[in-house]
Structure 1
Amino acid sequence: MTALILTYYSMNIDGNEYSNNDHVALSTDLRLLAALGWTITPLSTIVGAVIHRKLDPANKWVAITFDDGSWFDWYDLDHPTHGQQKSMANILRDFSQRHTGRSQPPIEATSFVIASPQARAQLEVTCMAGHRWWSDEWWPQAQHEGVIRIQNHSWDHNHISLDSTAVLHEKGRFSVVSTYQEADLDSICGAATSTIFAYPYGETSDFLVREYLPGHMLEHRLTAALTTKPEYVTNDSNRWLIPRFVCGCDWKSTEDLRTILQR
């Protein structure tokens, strides 16, 4: 192994145990990473090392990412079923206060957000029971502080519950993207700041990987793209197919994660 990218979903709250709450899992996992000597590293650092083939296994780098960009990433919230939940940002801040030093630099994670405000407004109704928990006013504050960087998770996720999406056919999948119009990744995140893309559903397409992303870099300004294929990041990783492990899918317990870290 060379480096790892771990992914959490802050909306994954179906209880208050490790197995059903990604906030509990993140808090526990951060302590395990520190105990095993891993350094929580900005995603951009790992991506840059991949691009220049300069990853060093001795560094034991791990990046933390979140997908979908709900309020749960940034704000503590009183969950209607499972009570008070500490935000991912505050979990990172608490860990940083205890561990930042020579071996652990200040924490920086990455949130991949859905760019379209219209899509998020509809998803609040279809996925969040009408709670206004998917707005974007926290993005500038997050970018300024740096504890969570904002990156692109597509315009509308081609989500199956939306009335219409940028993808012209077959909602609920991203592997069907096959035209320039469908692939246009412009977002209100700002082209100058959005440099890394995370494929919705972790799904890629040959058009994106072989044509659009490498062939239109002056337009989209992206440097890399992330899948959810559960593999280690190495100097041989394709910059448009960088793998990630997903909490709840690729590991479901501290023991599972320890196995991944020590494999």
Structure 2
Amino acid sequence: MSMTKIPIFTYHSHKVLGNSYETNDHIALHDDLRMIHAEGFLIIPLSWAVGWYLGRRKEPSPRCVAITFDDGCDLDWIDYEHPQYGPTESFKTILLGFKAEAGDKQPYIHASSFVIGSPVARKFINHEAFQGDDLLNDHWWKDADHSGIFKIYNHSWDHNHPAVRTVCQKDNIKGSFDNMDTFEECQCEVKQAGEYIGEKIHPAWPDLFAYPYGSSSTYIRGKYFPQFLDHHRILAAFGASGGYLTEDSFRWNLPRFVCSASPPAGWRTAAELREILYEAE
């Protein structure tokens, strides 16, 4: 039996709370890429890891990782002048810099960005969570998806975010994704988002899903995703509670580690990241 264990690492480009590893996911990503490389791990596209898990690709390198970004903030793709912390390289710029540095030793450098579909929801989140900064746009999605170093995937219609006035959840209860208990709610969050995102990145299709907050209901995991494949066209869904992708992982709640989350859900320091890598061997 294969003993492959793939760590999938998650970052948020809107996390710019300082100019240190612990307070800035851009600094963390810059440093982490180099640690991952120095420890002998190959960075591969998330789709390759999922393809292996589903039995559609051959087993990847025994020492590999995948990189994901959540929420689809513009800083995934666009450099930004932060009003408090100054020039901030986008995740794209950081990836390209590392790609140039590593050369053919990292031939598959790639990341996946899970984005929020609803333009209205993104405007509410911009206003309340980002203090009015216009940082959740979709004009860059197609360029990113077709770039060869990024793919755009589905992070729901409205994130069930507290800032959004009316959400898909039937009782308008916000702040978690463990209360999506009906077909209609799931269609609203998953299929509707997929169709919107798919139009923006056509002819590609966002066939992977990441649960907002990393949480999910028994219904969406146990019934909606496995029983209505023709409706949502999603291949697999991801949580955020830590753990490695293995052949025994559950398809509709695949594990990821999150930057700045306490172990075992993620890591806060370079030493904690190194420990995750060591445990993958």
Q: Which residue of 2 aligns with 1:136?
A: 138
Contact 1:70 1:135 in 2 (8 A): yes
Normalised TM-score (structure 2): 0.90
> Could you say what secondary structure the match of 1:167 adopts?
coil
> Could you say what secondary structure the match of 1:122 adopts?
helix
Contact 2:42 2:61 in 1 (8 A): no
Between the aligned partners of 1:255 and 1:144, the Cα distance in structure 2 is 34
> Could you say what secondary structure the match of 2:251 adopts?
coil
Q: 2:250 aligns with which of 216, 231, 238?
A: 238
Mapping of residues 47-196 of structure 1, within 5 Å: 47-52=50-55, 56=59, 58-101=61-104, 103-169=105-171, 170-184=173-187, 185=190, 186-187=192-193, 188-190=196-198, 193-196=205-208
Residue 55 of structure 1 deviates from its aligned partner by 7.3
Amino acid at match of 2:211: Y
Q: 1:138 to 1:230 in 2, by over 3 A?
A: same
Between the aligned partners of 1:139 and 1:10, the Cα distance in structure 2 is 15
Contact 1:46 1:55 in 2 (8 A): no
> Could you say what secondary structure the match of 1:78 adopts?
strand
Q: After superposition, what is the alpha-carbon deviation per residue over 1:106-161, rounded to whole angstroms, capped at 9, x for unaligned? A: 32100000000010011110111111111100001101112221000000000012
Q: After superposition, what is the alpha-carbon deviation per residue over 1:40-99, rounded to whole angstroms, capped at 9, x for unaligned? A: 100000011111187748521200000000111011100011111000011000001111
1:17 equivalent to 2:16? Answer: no
Q: Which residue of 1 aligns with 2:225?
A: 213
Mapping of residues 21-60 of structure 1, within 5 Å: 21-52=24-55, 56=59, 58-60=61-63
- Unaligned ranges ≥5, structure 2: none
1:261 equivalent to 2:269? Answer: no
- Unaligned ranges ≥5, structure 1: none
> Could you say what secondary structure the match of 2:252 adopts?
coil
Amino acid at match of 1:257: L
Higher relative contact order (CA 8 A, sep 6+): 1
Contact 1:151 1:196 in 2 (8 A): yes
Residue 254 of structure 1 deviates from its aligned partner by 0.9
Normalised TM-score (structure 1): 0.96
Between the aligned partners of 1:131 and 1:55, the Cα distance in structure 2 is 44
Q: After superposition, what is the alpha-carbon deviation per residue over 1:183-203, rounded to whole angstroms, capped at 9, x for unaligned? A: 011221118511000000000
> Could you say what secondary structure the match of 1:3 adopts?
coil
Contact 2:52 2:60 in 1 (8 A): no
Q: Which residue of 2 aligns with 1:4?
A: 7
Query: Which aligned runs of 4 or more in structure 1 are off by greater than 2 angstroms?
Result: 53-59
Residue 229 of structure 1 deviates from its aligned partner by 1.6
Greater shift, 107-116 or 46-55, is seen at: 46-55
Contact 2:81 2:87 in 1 (8 A): yes
Aligned-CA RMSD value: 1.5
Amino acid at match of 2:46: L
Q: Which residue of 1 aligns with 2:238?
A: 226
Contact 2:45 2:108 in 1 (8 A): no
Contact 2:160 2:168 in 1 (8 A): yes
Between the aligned partners of 2:230 and 2:164, the Cα distance in structure 1 is 30
Amino acid at match of 2:207: T
